[in-house]
Structure 1
Amino acid sequence: NKLDYVWATSWGVSTRLMGALIMTHSDDNGLVLPPHLAPIQVVIVPIYKNDEQLKQIDAKVEGIAAKLREMGISVKYDNADNKRPGFKFADYELKGVPVRLVMGGRDLENNTMEIMRRDTLEKETRSCEGIEEYVKNLLEEIQANIYQKALKYRNEHIVKVDTYDEFKEQIEKGGFILAHWDGTTETEERIKEETKATIRCIPFEADEESLTPGVDMVTGKPSARRVLFARAY
């Protein structure tokens, strides 16, 4: 006969998480997967003129792939001859593989590889010496970059409002709205009925002003803090 925290299963750790992952990071070329979640973190594609050259590239790549795997990095070496390199490039971009390494005949002679990062699509050519450590660091850089990019985008689409008229105008533009709420179901239901917006969450972290008590934009009653409103799509 007292209040306690409920224990329940989560409705979110399923297709909703996958949808959020796709919508948050991906681009017009397909998936962009965080390296910490990607089933394949690095794909290596050879470009060769004949079987003899492929064998030489195979031998070179084998050692690089082995070192990467020793570092705990998942690697796929795609030397299948049923698809052209260009098709493979597009296919792995579509699948969101974070890093692509390419070795051709000239690379073999120069002891280099081309590196492409999926998040920015930037390419560079580097020596094979120490390339494993470079790729390991690059994966962490990509992980941090796509997180910061998503965080920046989210923060740029949060707007504070103090009046209900401002709220109604802003909600038509989309995004999140930080506004004071008096804590009652009645007020939330009224806002939902009139604007189709609902409280999405009460943020754990917010700036000092958002955590300061204020006045509900609808009723004028006291509000403990601002909460995040948005329309669900």
Structure 2
Amino acid sequence: MSTSKGSAAKGGGGKKKEVKKETKLGMAYRKDDNFGEWYSEVVVNSEMIEYYDISGCYILRPWAMEIWELMKEFFDAEIKKLKLKPYYFPLFVTENVLQKEKDHIEGFAPEVAWVTKSGKSDLEAPIAIRPTSETVMYPYFSKWIRSHRDLPLRCNQWCNVVRWEFSNPTPFIRSREFLWQEGHTAFANKEEADEEVLQILELYRRIYEEFLAVPVSKGRKSEVEKFAGGLYTTSVEAFIPNTGRGIQGATSHCLGQNFAKMFDITFENEKGVREMVWQNSWAYTTRSIGVMVMTHGDDKGLVLPPKVAPIQVGSILTGK
């Protein structure tokens, strides 16, 4: 599963920034004058995040986590209607499994973080921390799917992933560890897979437009931009006026039968003939929160749409 490697904002890196904060009553930077510094100031002063002592990693504070939980509640309810089941797969993956799908891992190779030691001793074989879960899950799809009666297989998990190799980290938008939802499904035919790709893409549109009040465009990625190892990729894209740039909001991929070939995921159809499954994967991340902040925040600070605002009404006491 992919997330965009582009960034809508510069600044906000992993080192703790000297955000000017003489008082909590005003902003030191203006959105139109210095967008990167303004964004960093907003997410810190509004208590959405706190900088951590590892570059590109951030503490997500209650304001951010409550927004994430509200979106999670909506999405879980919707995918339950599609018969998705909750799973959790391990964080670690062996090098042999990760290398099994060459095109896929080449797309992620620079970003993979490796565990190489246990205490002071070198591990016999390095273990990767998942940058995405295709190669973690699909060996078990091969084990669980035997007959057409086992299809469709539809898994969803909420977890963290790590993608290490990049510069200029930005809170929510571009971080080395982030939270996401990822779905992985297998079908007996391409028509069912194609249908689900668009169903999920529409749910992502609803998250952005109905909850975050961020307009997005749905579309299909070019062959160059599509997910490594997949058949085709669709996405929702937002636009950040202050940067004049688009930003990828979420992706829904049809993987075709490429991973089925690599991991021998086959089933016996109703005529007793063995066939390969058709697969999808799809995801959105905590980047969505950053896109919302960039879209609605102003020179006074954080602005939250009503559907994701943890506090709906506040009282201000004044004297005579």
Q: Which is richer in strand? A: 2
Common fold by TM > 0.5: no
Q: Which is richer in helix? A: 1
TM-score (norm 1): 0.31
Higher relative contact order (CA 8 A, sep 6+): 2
